[in-house]
């Protein structure tokens, strides 16, 4: 069965360190997304990609970067981790249908703690 | 930008009861999804329902796009239905970027 996986599932890091969260999907979807979930804010979009070598900023992109070198993977990098980036991170993917939005499927999430 | 509001924020039920969750959105949409976040944090797709009505077992959903709302019905609730229910719509028409509501927290007691 096709799926979307994230690793690690839990991570503790120190302020100032670079951290990379992995996201891998086997749906062969063109579209991939990163969200963060915080109490009181729900899920918010960080970055997204519509295909290989395409990346775009979402509503809370400061301090994060992504790169897309193949269809299956969209790693999320925190360049210099800050305590404000303690959160649960979700990756998602969806089909492209000529620009029309379609159903997004979510990974299991990564709980990141920055101390 | 588009606003998404869910009600009620919290719901406590006894097993076997029925419930209706509501999602209001402030602008036209051509995509709406309902998710269940279980107590382990996993986001489970319930419905992709830009318009009309769909049913899946004890759950059903209706979206009335012209009136900018969607309803999620849970019948004969079970303890495994506990968790948070989110609706999500595109941030603008014909985009894939989702805006999530703040959710309805459901607790079902035996």
Distance CA B51, CA B77 (A): 24
Give A31's contacts in chain B (Cβ within 8 Å). 96
pLDDT at A102: 82
Distance set, CA A24 to CA A76, A78, A92, A96, B86 (Å): 11, 18, 10, 17, 24
pLDDT of residue A111: 97
Cα–Cα distances in angstroms (integers) from residue B76 to residues A44, B12, B35, in the given order: 32, 13, 19
User: Which residue out of B92, B98, B103 would a mutagenesis test of the A interface target, given it has the greatest number of A Cβ atoms within 10 Å?
Assistant: B98
User: Which strands sit side by side in the sheet containing A64-66, from one edge to the other?
Assistant: A4-7, A19-25, A76-78, A64-66
Across-strand partners of A29? none
Mean pLDDT, chain B, integer: 94
CA B31/CA B88 separation, integer angstroms:
8
pLDDT attached to residue B1: 84
SS (H, E, C) B74-99: ECCCCHHHCEEEEEEEECCCCCCCEE
pLDDT in the model for residue A96:
77
pLDDT in tens, B51-109: 999 999 999 999 999 999 999 999 999 999 999 999 999 887 667 788 999 999 999 99
- Surface of B (69-98) touching A: CB under 8 A: 86, 88, 90-91, 94-98
The answer for residues whose C-beta is within 8 angstroms of residue A22's C-beta and 6 or more apart is A6, A7, A8, A73, A75
**A6-62 pLDDT per residue, tens:** 999 999 999 999 999 999 999 999 999 999 999 877 899 999 999 999 999 999 999
Q: CA of A57 to nearest chain B CA: how many angstroms apart?
A: 11
Write down the pLDDT at residue A81.
98
The whole-number average pLDDT for the span B4-22 is 97
From chain A, which residues contact B within 8 Å (Cβ)?
31, 33, 40, 42-45, 48, 50, 58, 88, 90, 94, 99-106, 108-109, 111
Q: Residues of A with CB below 8 A from B45's CB?
A: 103-106
d(CA B76, CA B59): 9
Residue A97 has pLDDT above 80, yes or no: no
B79-90 residue pLDDT tens:
999 999 999 998
Strand ranges in A4-98 using DSSP code E only, listed in sequence order? 4-7, 10-13, 19-25, 31-38, 42-51, 54-57, 64-66, 76-78, 87-94
Determine if the peptide bond prior to A8 is cis (ω within 30°): yes
| Cβ-nearest to B45 among A42, A50, A103 | A103
- Kindly identify which residue of chain B lies nearest to residue A41, measuring between CA atoms: B102
Query: Closest approach of chain B CAs to the CA of A35, in angstroms?
Result: 10
Helix (H) or strand (E) holding A106: strand A104-106
List, in sequence order, every residue forming a beta bridge with B45; answer none if it has no partner: B35
Contacts of B57 (CB under 8 A, 6+ apart): none
The residue of A23, A40, A104 whose CB has the most chain B CBs within 10 angstroms, and thus the best one to mutate to test that interface, is: A104
For residue A109, list chain B residues with Cβ-Cβ distance below 8 A: 41-43
């Amino acid at each position: 069965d096709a799926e979307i996986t994230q690793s690690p599932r839990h991570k503790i890091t120190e302020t100032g360190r670079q951290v990379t969260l992995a996201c891998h999907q086997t749906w062969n979807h063109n579209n991939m997304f990163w969200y963060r979930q915080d109490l009181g804010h729900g899920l918010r979009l960080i970055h997204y990609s519509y295909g290989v070598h395409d990346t775009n900023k979402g509503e809370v992109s400061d301090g994060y970067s992504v790169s897309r070198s193949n269809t299956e993977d969209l790693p999320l990098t925190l360049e210099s981790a800050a305590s404000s980036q303690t959160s649960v991170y979700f990756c998602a993917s969806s089909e492209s249908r000529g620009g029309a939005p379609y159903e997004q499927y979510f990974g299991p999430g990564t709980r990141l703690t920055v101390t | 930008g588009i606003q998404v509001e869910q009600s009620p924020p919290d719901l406590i039920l006894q097993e076997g009861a029925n419930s209706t969750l509501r999602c209001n959105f402030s602008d036209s949409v051509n995509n709406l999804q309902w998710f269940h976040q279980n107590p382990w944090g996993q986001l489970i797709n319930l419905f992709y329902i830009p318009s009309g009505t769909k049913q899946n077992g004890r759950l059903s959903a209706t979206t009335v796009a012209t009136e900018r709302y969607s309803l999620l019905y849970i019948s004969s609730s079970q303890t495994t239905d506990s968790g948070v229910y989110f609706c999500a719509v595109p941030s603008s028409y014909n985009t894939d970027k989702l805006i999530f509501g703040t959710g309805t927290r459901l607790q079902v007691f035996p």
